Structures are given as structure tokens and as C-alpha cells.
Amino acid sequence: MKLRPHHALCVQKFTGHGYDENFTRHMTETVQVLKEHPDEKVDIISGCDDLCAHCPNNENGACTTLQKVAEMDRAVLSSTGLRIGEAVAWGRLAALARETVFETAEFEAVCKNCEWYALCKNTNI
Ligand code: SF4
Ligand code: SF4
């Protein structure tokens, strides 16, 4: 599976809300697969990933909110110490995101400009 860095956060905070029906259905399936398979290999990539592929904000392979999401991706790379091109088991990636973002002030710093922040802030994982 290919994920852009900040989606290591979104997958863990997902509660069934998404941009449209197609996106939400695919996201639900992906979250379920990763929950059941913590050893699933995740390739950390830049740009649109397996979740973006089903998103209405993906226009010809580029996110329409690229500036915002690119900043979040950079922040997650900085917090976790991960690099683009790295392959990591989902369980380790999720734990790294929890320890370095959700459990620190980085959560607000990374996510505060996201439209889902209020929801994610109140979602326990
Ligand atoms: S606030 Fe936005 S970027 Fe942060 S975890 Fe939630 S959906 Fe993802
Ligand atoms: S909003 Fe952008 S980064 Fe987020 S899933 Fe859609 S295309 Fe991908």
C-alpha cells in the first residue's frame, strides 16, 4: 500500500466521515485492512496515494488543496523521522504517528488547519 505521510494520521482517526460516498467506502475498507494486518507494508510516498485515488479532490493525480496537505506531509515526516521512499509496517507507522504526533503538541500544529480537526481531536484511538 502507498500512503502519503499525513495519511498515517487520518487512517487512525477515521470514523466514517469522508469527502463523498466513494471516498468513504474505500477509506472504510482500507482502515479495516490495516487494522487487521499491522504487518502490511506501507510505502511512504509524496503526492497522491491509494486514498487520494478515490478522492473527489484529486484532479488528474494532484490534490486541489496541495499546499495545505504538502505542509502536513512535511510536518509528519519531520515529527516521525520517516523519509519519502521508506517502506514500513503499518503497525510501526501507526505507533510512530501516535507517539510523535497525537501524543504531543504536534497534533495541533500539524492538523489545526484541516477541516476535520475538531472531529479528529475528539476521536479516541
Ligand atoms: S485533522 Fe485532518 S489531517 Fe489530521 S488526522 Fe484528522 S483528517 Fe487527518
Ligand atoms: S484531500 Fe487531497 S490529500 Fe486528502 S485524500 Fe483527497 S486528494 Fe488526497
Q: Is 110 in the pocket of ligand 2 (CB under 6 A)?
A: no
Return the pLDDT at 23: 97
Nearest to 17 by CA among 94, 116, 102: 116
Contact (Cβ atoms closer than 8 angstroms) between residue 120 and residue 111? yes
Please give the C-alpha separations between residue 77 and each of 51, 83, 100, 110, 120, in angstroms, as whole numbers. 18, 6, 10, 11, 20
User: Mean pLDDT over residues 4-12, rounded?
Assistant: 98
Return the pLDDT at 42: 98
User: Mean pLDDT over residues 10-19, rounded?
Assistant: 97
**Spacing, Cα 75 to ligand 2 middle (Å):** 16
User: Mean pLDDT over residues 73-98, rounded?
Assistant: 98
- CB under 6 Å to ligand 1: residues? 6, 9-10, 13, 72, 111, 114, 116-117, 120
Ligand nearest to the CA of 19: 2
3-state secondary structure of 2: strand
Ligand nearest to the CA of 15: 1
What pTM does this model have? 0.97
In tens, the pLDDT along 18-27 reads: 999 999 999 9
User: Mean pLDDT over residues 4-29, rounded?
Assistant: 97
* Sign, Cα dihedral of 16, 42, 62, 120: positive
In tens, the pLDDT along 39-52 reads: 999 999 999 999 99
Which structural domain, as residue segments, surrounds residue 53? 2-121
First to last CA, the chain: 22
Q: What is the phi/psi pair of residue 88, to 5°?
A: -145, 145
Total tally of structural domains belonging to the chain: 1
User: Mean pLDDT over residues 92-104, rounded?
Assistant: 98
**Spacing, Cα 6 to ligand 1 middle (Å):** 8
Q: Is 24 in the pocket of ligand 2 (CB under 6 A)?
A: no
